[in-house]
Each structure stands twice: as C-alpha cells, then as structure tokens.
Amino acid sequence: MNKYLFQICKYLLLSLLVLTVSSPAEGDNGIYTHRTRLGIVNGLSKVLGKQIIYHFRKIPYAKPPLKDLRFEKPQEFGAWGNVLNATAYGPNCMQFLGQDNRLLPNLQVSEDCLHLNIIAPNDLNNSSRRPVFIWIHGGGFTNGQGMSVEGSVFAATGDVVLVTINYRLNIFGFVNVGMAHPRNLGLWDQKFAIKWIKQNIQDFGGDPNMITLFGESAGGVSVGLQSIIPTNIGLFQRSIAQSGSFFSLRDIGTESEKLTREIGRVLNCSNCQNGDSLCLECLRRFSARDMLLGYRKGVSNLRKGFSLKAPIGPIVDQDLIPNDIFTMLSDSTSETSKMFNSIDFIAGSNDGEAGLFYFNLIGQQKAFHFDLKQGIPTRVLCNNIVPYVTKEVLKGCDNISHAICNKYSNDGRANSLSYETILAINFFSDMEMSSLAARCLNFHNNTSKNSYQYLFTHRPTWGVIADRPSWLLGANHVDELPFLFGLRRWYPGNVTITPEEDALSSKIMSYWYNFGKTGDPNPKGTSEWPKYNKTSIKSAFIIGEYRNATVDNFHDRMHFWNEEIPQLLALCSSQQTLIVSLLVSVVQAVTPIARSHLVTHTTRLGKVTGLKIRTYNSTIYQFKKIPYAKSPLSLLRFEKPQPISSWNETLNGSEYGPNCMQYLFENDKRLIPNLKISEDCLHLNIFAPRNLNKTSKRPVMIWVHGGGFTNGQGMMFDGSKLAALYDVIIVTINYRLNTFGFINVGAGPGRNLGLWDQRFAIKWVKDNIMDYGGNSEMITIFGESAGGISVGLQSVISKNKGLFQRTIAHSGSLLLIRDIDDTEKLTREIGRIFNCPECLNGMQTCLDCLRNVSAENLLQKYAVAEHNLQNGFSVKSTIGPIVDGELIPESPIDMLLDSTSPASQMFNSIDYITGTNDCEAGLFYFDLIEQQASFNFDLKKGIPSRIVCNLFAPHVSRDIFKTCDKVSEEICKKYSIQSKNHSQSKETNQAMNAYGDLEFASLAARDLDFHSRSNKGTYQYLFTHKPIWGLIEDRPSWLVGANHADEIAFVFGLEDWYPKNIDISLSEVELSSKMMSFWATFAKTGNPNPENTQEWPSYDKTTKRFIILGEYRNSTVDGFHDRMRFWNEDVPKLVSECQQKTNTSNQANIISTGYSVGMLMIRIVVLLLLEDVFIMQ
C-alpha cells in the first residue's frame, strides 16, 4: 500500500479510538448475570460515581459470516443455548490495525465480528423504558469498531441506554461483483443490528419506541442512509449524522466493481474479471488475512497520484439503495421520502474538517512545489487540487474549476499564506461535509418532523488526530467526539481539561440527550438551537466559538455548492458522462433528462397523461397541450374564447400541440418542438416540480410569449429549469395571433381576441392550478416584447382583479396599444382581397364572409395585405391590441391618469417589474436594411447620425406627432454627434439609443411612474449583457449590448437555448442564476431580493432607481435618466407648443390618428399639468 495512503488510514483509525488508559478511577468490575428472552448473559457491573453501569459486550446479532456466509447478507443468530459470556469485547471486523494497544481494548481481527455492546445505567428493568442511542462508528468503511466508544459516561450522564455495533468493512463489507449478488453488506449488517436492538433492547431497560441512531464520518454517512431505507420505517425515531451525509455514496457501483476485479486479479480469480458470481466462490477459498492483503494490494494498484476519492463504501445497489437518492427524495410520495419524513433529524459538521485534507496532501508536496507545514497556497488549490476534483466529478467541465477557484481564492481582503490556507480549509470542509449536510437538511426541511443543523467550531486543548498542522484553526475531523462521550475518557492524563471545555461537553451531551428523548435538542422551554430553515442564513447553530474565518459567509458557501455548482454541472452533463465522485450528490442532482416516463394524473376536469422527468436536482411533471378553451373553429373563428368542459377520456398531455396560425420556417426547428400550425391552438403547458399535491401551494408563473402579435408560441419556452431550481410552477400559453387574434371590423365582436384568449388562460390557471400543486392566490404573469405589452395590458384590465398578484413586463409597455384606424384599414384590405364587400364598410357581416375562407388562405392573404399597406420606412405597427370600448374601454394612459378609475385600482393591486435591454435596436437594424440604397450608407458599418436626423426623426414626427417639426429637430440634436472629431461607432450608439428609448425604455419609465403611486412593489431593470449567443441571429457587429429578447435565455436557462457547440461562460451562468432567483423570489414575495438583501432597489418617481443586470456600459447606461426625461418631459412640452399653433381639429386629428407613442406624448402633457395631483395619489 502506498505509504501515504497507509498513514491516512492510520490517522483515520486514530480519529475513532478512545484512550482507555486515561480513564478516571472506577469501582471494581463485577460479573452480573442477566436473563433475557434470548437466554442468560453474563456482563459487567461498574461503579461510576454514584451510579452502576452495566456492560454487555460481544452480543451476537447475526450468525458469523464465515465460509459460505462470507459475502452474504447477515443471517439471524437466534437464541444462545448456554450462558453467554459478555464480559469482554469481541474482535474487530477484518481491517489493518496498528500495534499500539493503548488505543483499543484488543487488537484482534476476525470475520466473526457481528457483535454489539450494550451500556445501560442503574437498572435493567423492562419497565425502565430509557431512551436508546445506537452508535455507528466511522473509519472510511475500511476501519473502525464499536469498542472504540466505552460509553459509561454517556449512558450514566443522560440516563440512556447506549449500544455500539460492529459491521463488515472494506472488501468484506462492500464487495461488488455486479447486480447478481448482494452488495452493501456493511449496511445490511447495520440494519440487522438496528432490528435486533428494536426487538430486544427492552430486556436491557431500553425503550424500543425511542431509538436514536447517531454516528460520525462513515458512521454519519451510514446513519443518513439508514434514515432513508424504506424497510427501516418504525425501527427508530431519530437520527444524528455527524460529519457524514447520505449523499456521500462512493459511486454508482463502477469504482467498487473495478476494485473487486483488481482484487480478483491479484488473487488469480479469473471469474472476477467478467463480473461473474463465481468470483465470490473463488474469493471464499482464501483466508481472511489473504483476502485483506489482496484488498490492500488492489487499492494500491488502482490509486495513482493525488485523489480525494474513497476506494470502497456504499453504492446504489438497486436493492437496499434502489436508485440515486436525489431521484427518490425528490418524489415526496416515494417510500424513501416517507421513511425520511418519519424521523427527526440533526446533521452537522466541524469547521476544520480539512485535517483529513492534510493527509491527502502530504505525498504531493514535491509534485505541487509547496511546503505543507507552512500552509496551502491558492495556486496549489487552483492549479492542482481543484482540477483533480473537477476531473473526478465530471470530465472536462472547466467551468466548475473556474467557479471553485474564484470562490476559494484570495479576494483581496488579505495577501498572506495564512489567509489562502483558510480558504483552502473552507473548500475541503464545505465540499466534503457541510454542503452535503445542508443538502440532506433541505430535503428533510420539507417534512413535519424536526430538522436541525450544527457547526462545531471549538479547537480542543487536545485533538484526537495527533498530527495536526499548525494552520488548522478550528475543530478538526472527529474533534467533537471527546465532548460527546466524556473528555476524561479521551484526554491523556497529563492534559488539563479547562472549565470552558467541561461546560461545552456538558452542553453537547445535553443537546444530544434532549433530542433523543423529545426530538428537540433544546432543554424544555428554551429555543437556543433554532430549527433548520433552508431560506435562513442563521440555520447552522454554532457549537463553540464564532470564528470569522470559517463561519463568515457559511450560508453563502452552502448556496454555492448546492445551487450554483449543480447549475454548472447541468451545463456539462448534457454533453458529457457522469462519473464516480465524492461529490456524487451534486452529480445526481443534474442527471440528464433522458430518464422520463409517462404518468397519469387525476384532476377535477379529468385524467391527463404527462411526462415525469428527472432534471436539475428535481422531478418535473410536464403536461402539454391542455385545452383552456374550445377550439375557435368554424363559427367560433373571430369569437371570444368559450369555456371548455371536462374531458371523459384520458387527455394526452405528453406532446405539444400545434402553434396558432402564423408563418414558420425550417430554421425555427431548433427552438420549437414542432412546426405545425392550426386554429385549434388554445392550449397551455404546465411544468410542475417535485409533486402534484394540492397542499403544496407553489407559486405560479404564467409566461405570455412575444412575437409582435403576429408570431410566437408557448412551446418555445421550456419551464423545467426555472421550476426545478426555484420550486415554482411555470405555465406557458398560446393565444390567437395576427388577423385571427386581432381583426378589427369596427364596433362589435372580434376585436382584441388574442387578449381575450390570454385572459381566459389566466382564469383557467386560477381555477385549476391547485390540481397541479399550485397556489391560485400566488400567480405572476410575465412576458416579453408583445408578451410584455400583453401582461401590462392585462394588469390594467379591471375585470382581472384577483386573477393574479404580480406582473413582470420584459421590453413591452402597456401604453403600446395599436392605432385603431390602422388595424381597421388592414381588415378592409384583407376583405378587398377576398372580395368581401362587407369589410369595406366596417360591417359585422364581414366576419361571416371571412369565416368561409380556409385558415391557410386567410393567413396568406393577411401577409399580402400587410405588404400592400406598407409604404417605405415606418415606425408604426398595423396589428395588435386596440382601444375596443370593452376590454380596453379607453386608452391606458387616460385610464391611469384617473387614480380612482377601475384600471388604476387594478394596476395598484399588483406588484410590478418592468425593464428593457440596452440595445433593443437590433430590431431597428431590420427596419433599415431596405433603406441603405436610398440613403447611401452601409448598415454593416453602422448607423450615421444623418439617418437619425433625415430618416428616423422625421418619420417619428410625421407618424406620431404629424406637423410638429420641432420634435424632429430636437430628436436630431439629442441623438446625433455634433462635434467633428468622432467615430462612426459613437454615431451608431446614439442611433441605437434613439430607437430603444422611444420604443421601449421611455414607455417602461412611464409605466413605472404610474405604478409607483401604489403601495405595492415597483421595480425596474436594465439588462446590458451581450451574450455569447443571441436569439436573434442576424446581429450586426456594432450592436454592443443586449439585443431585443437576449434576456429570455437567462431567465429560462441558458442550456435550453444555446446551441450545443457554444460554450457557456461562468459569468453567464452566474448572471442567469441571479436573474432566475430574482424572478422566482418576486413571484413568491413581491420583492425580487432574497431574504435579508437589498441588491435591487425599489423604483420611485423621484430617484428612479433601477438595477443593471449585466455590465455597466457607458454608451448605453450613461445619461439614461436624462434621455428618459427628454422623452417623458421635454417632448410632451414640445408637442404642447405645437398644439397651441394649430386649431382644435388638427389637435384632434393628431390624437386620433397618431401611433400609440404619439397618443402617449399628448396625454403626458396633461399628466405634467396635473403633476401635483399625480404625486398626491
């Protein structure tokens, strides 16, 4: 065996041993004979202070696993015939032990080791019913023994029964020849011992209905695993996992199987190379000692260089542990979850667990060029250690290496080796112990049972692991054990126990006893130790001293490992193979989406079949193509949506339905699951995490897609990641588009049908989402572009009050309604093409004529009509929402100017976020492509200022403000470069700002000004990040920031949007995580900031504060408020001056025929005149 590996094992063993030579004086041992149901047993009675402690040792709980029983599950021992001699400890299970007999009562090893030891105080009456504690020792599943804990002090002080057990170790306990033969034998031994105690402990004064498992290191792992094995339900009531998590599985079977094959090769058992069960028959022929030597040789042969992996231990065996633990626990109805939910649970770790790390690094000093006694430099962590860790987790995932290095490298607060070493210590402790404990607690926190977390921080006067580096500040691995089992039994006689340590020991014992008795570690009537709460930064209870170096940012570091790392792994897992790792818990969290199956779910409307998918550390249920209204076919074309009744047959919700009528192209296939189009499209899709229980009451987020009210679909947006990572339900919807959704033949039915569809879908969600685990009183609507306009408009429709609680409008304003005359003109042109004369006069019979046209023909002629009405460059849109006198009875700005109007009351009842991207002008690019020849410029090189002055500004003035030439002049001055010495890029930046400010940013600011009157949350963002890959692919090189729609991928999950050949950067992953967190937190609370943070300021009309999501870019961010003031204050004043120079009829003409922005600007004049009223409201 590699000498350093042997040294690690030696000190790991030392970590578990009791210094029996230092025990305080006790009364003479006497033989005590006791009668049990299994037979008579002779034990020891010992005097400890004023108490008598009874010891019964080497009690067999299973048959000796010898000969044919080697590598078999434990077998029942039954009653013993003669008087059982239980006065001396039995042998240790097969392992390598040192020669220092100070450390253990005996150094014998044997396969005949399946014994337990009972320590009971005062009396052994059946009626005593004392709480029972079962100690499972650690030792890396390769070493350890029950006798290492003598137990008298623990049992006597707490008046509890203590049981310590042996279980098979290393190759004897965790051999793996494949699925055909039992595996995890060591865990089976533990389970068998627990069952024996449950059945027999009453004979020793214990309460079989008040049993607590506890263990440390590998024992902590074992306790956790026993706590989720379904067949253990009822065997015990509580668990304490110390420095060990059930997520610390060794692997999914590959490493231990490889080791078994190597042992077979060393021992010339050829059957072992093929995973043949005959391998075990061959291995049974060797003596236990030869087997142990073969194991040591096999480990040595396979271990090459630096590694943090363990060679052997528990695995997913498809029997005792049937599946990966994340999958089982993510389903709250699984038998695994039911078991975990049946117990109270404590998990914790020490703040200096990196004492083990020290032994991993001893042999690497020369290779890594550093002196370990001096400390661990950041360069060693980043260049040597972290890459090894990353390699053992997921091959080639460099993003993880960068993220870990950034998290645990010097952040500028100090520039010393000691500080770098502290960061390295935290890295190891967090990765190996603390983050995994937090993961366990996150699952258990969802139960009705008690959950608690601790962090032990006291650096003891004397440490169990003697070779302790001077730089290890806090509590080393296993340092808590002497405080738990009695300092005087552990500390050498020449070490003085301080009063502070004595008091700390008493406190820890008291916590453990209280928990074992009541499920609450706090003494009755106190609450010093808070219950664990996964959203709280103070859930970890400090036992010891508050040490800044290890305790500061503890919660933030847990978030890093349990939230950010899984997301990074998810990016890699889609392209690479998951492999063995000590971080297998994190790997399991991101198993690829390949594992899915059909599920049938019963709702009040009927049964529906959907998909159950394992992804992103959660189970996601997907139900697609759920109808929320009747199909708008035949006579229902151009009618408002009609309610759908329940369905009798099981609804197939496993595949997306068709898109609503629109033009689609082959290159849309990458983001759209199918290119089918149909009028029968009023469907929605539901993405629900974890379970579908009605009592779950998860926040609901309804996505309304964009596409200019002419294109778009719900199926483009997979809500799985947002749902999985943030425990929300995502719903995406379809609604009728273009002429099918926004036809306008004048007063009467048929107008704003797309908005009616959206409203109908929202109401369906309100009425039915409870059946999918959603909270019908916690609904957020959000959407982008036309979807942003839509959610804004839904937020001022008075009929919607109570349907939803929050709104997020991306790049779309509720003020951007279309011009009623333009939309009616388009309908007349379509009627003319189809020879429907009724349409030319605005008659309702026009709709009857158009209902006789096929959907495909109507779509085609709609496109022709749009083309016919185009007349060169324009900033107007001819289709979309209008003032219809019903759903939108007046222009939104008129309704909102009256703070007492139903629209204002509706708007004031919700929390509201809106924002834009800093380079929305990617859309402007497409408007200008056809203008290059006319204006003699090369668009690929940029947009000259003369285009702003001679094209954009005049058209804005003409189309929006008619005869107000002064507006054109001021736009030119504001957004052109006046100096001679400037670059084309500066002119282009100004031109981009002109378009983005007019069309998006200034209107968002107006929405916010209105909403800030309310007492609800109001927030603004500016997304500025230029992504590696953009949704709008034809992107000019001069577009420096975030194009239109660029933020969507960051909200729904980059990996579902970026092409597979695009590497996603760490900074983009971090930005996406931040945005998803903001959006989900807002949906839950109405405030996007996580608890106890204020990174995103609320918006108010005075300060107009907003958050920048991305980079601070001078060209787009500088002067932002000044530019908003130009459009929302200066331009309205100019318009007012123009009005004064024209007659009333001309003014009316401006208002009635202008583009929506013009309508807005005119009304802003009124708003400015009523500023005092505005502020008071």
- What's the pLDDT tens digit per position in 1132-1143? 888 888 877 765
* Angle at CA of residue 265, ends 261 and 266, nearest 5°: 120
- Per the model's pLDDT, the better-predicted residue between 300 and 273 turns out to be 300
pLDDT exceeds cutoff 80 at 111: yes
Superfamily holding 3-245+318-327 = Alpha/Beta hydrolase fold, catalytic domain (3.40.50.1820)
What proportion of the chain, given as a percentage, has pLDDT over 90?
58
Q: What is the pLDDT of residue 249?
A: 61
Q: What is the pLDDT of residue 1147?
A: 37
- What's the pLDDT tens digit per position in 242-257? 999 988 765 545 578 8
- What's the pLDDT tens digit per position in 857-867? 999 999 999 88
pLDDT exceeds cutoff 80 at 442: yes
* Angle at CA of residue 1176, ends 1171 and 1177, nearest 5°: 100
Write out the DSSP string of 560-589.
IIIIIHHHHHHHHHTTS-B---TTHHHHHT
Q: What is the pLDDT of residue 1032?
A: 81
Alpha helices in 430-564 (DSSP H): 435-444, 481-485, 487-490, 499-518, 548-551, 554-559
pLDDT class for 103, splitting at 50, 70, 90? low
Question: Rounded to whole angstroms, how far apart are CA atoms 828 and 849?
Answer: 12
Chosen CATH of 910-1169 out of 1.10.4190.10, 2.40.50.140, 3.40.50.720, 3.40.50.1820: 3.40.50.1820
**Catalytic residue among 227, 585, 785, 811, which?**
785
Instruction: Fill in the amino acid letter for 752.
Output: N
When mean pLDDT is compared across 20-24, 448-452, 936-940, the lowest value belongs to: 20-24
Instruction: For residue 182, give both structure tokens.
Output: 């039992």
Could you tell me the fold of the domain covering 343-568? Answer: Rossmann fold (3.40.50)
CATH 3.40.50.1820 fits 597-810, yes or no: yes
Answer whether 3-245+318-327 and 343-568 agree in fold.
yes
* Angle at CA of residue 510, ends 507 and 513, nearest 5°: 155
pLDDT class for 262, splitting at 50, 70, 90? very high
**Span 645-665, average pLDDT:** 93
- Per the model's pLDDT, the better-predicted residue between 23 and 840 turns out to be 840
Active site (annotated) includes residue 874: no
Q: What is the pLDDT of residue 1084?
A: 96
Tell which residue, 874, 889, 860, 877, has the closest CA to residue 819. 877
Mean pLDDT of the chain: 86
Instruction: Name the 3-class secondary structure at 457.
Output: coil
Q: What is the pLDDT of residue 410?
A: 67
pLDDT exceeds cutoff 80 at 583: no
Give me the sign of the Cα torsion angle 234, 236, 238, 242: negative
- Per the model's pLDDT, the better-predicted residue between 228 and 1061 turns out to be 228
- What's the pLDDT tens digit per position in 366-389? 888 899 999 999 989 988 888 877
Which residues are 613's β-sheet partners? Answer: 596, 620
List the domain boundaries for the chain.
3-245+318-327, 343-568, 597-810, 910-1169
